Amino acid sequence: MERKLTVPGRYDRLEQICDFVAQAATEAGLAEREASRCQLAVDEACTNIIEHGYEGEDRGLIEVACEGEEGELVITIQDWARRFDPSTVPEPKLNTSVEGIGIGGLGIYFMRQIMDAVEFSYENGGNKLVLVKRKET
């Protein structure tokens, strides 16, 4: 099963995106905990697209595609914001106090911790993020 959702880059659309991903996760046979992790990763990614990529609301579209088979969900998020290079984001210093970490900088780290695969690319004038979640055994 493959399904797509395209929405304007707006914070008030995050819930719609997360609901879309949760439904796809359920159809792929993922447990509630796994579906919640997918939602968390997608929420973080889309928030970053709006805030950092488009630098504000209503400046571009976000396309979310979900492809699932029994026990695995592949989520592809596409945007047409300025090019994003994940190698420019420094690794968080987790051995420091919360105050020392500061605001931001943990999103990619969290996505990599809760998803089975996280891949960034830039192609055809847009950023592409592929997230994979497999059913825990």
Q: Which two tokens stand for residue 123?
A: 């192609």
Question: What are the Cα distances from residue 86, in Å, to 7, 16, 103?
Answer: 23, 26, 17
pLDDT, average across residues 31-35: 96
Average pLDDT over all residues of the chain: 90
pLDDT, average across residues 14-25: 98
74 forms bridges with which residues in the sheet?
67, 132
Residue with tokens 């929420």: 43
Q: What pTM did the predictor assign?
A: 0.89
Higher-pLDDT residue of 108 and 93 is 108
Residue with tokens 């047409």: 80
pLDDT, average across residues 73-80: 98
Domain 2-134 has CATH 3.40.30.10: no
Residue type at 36 in one-letter notation: S
pLDDT at 53 exceeding the cut of 90 = yes
Candidates 127, 133, 117; CA nearest to 62 is 127
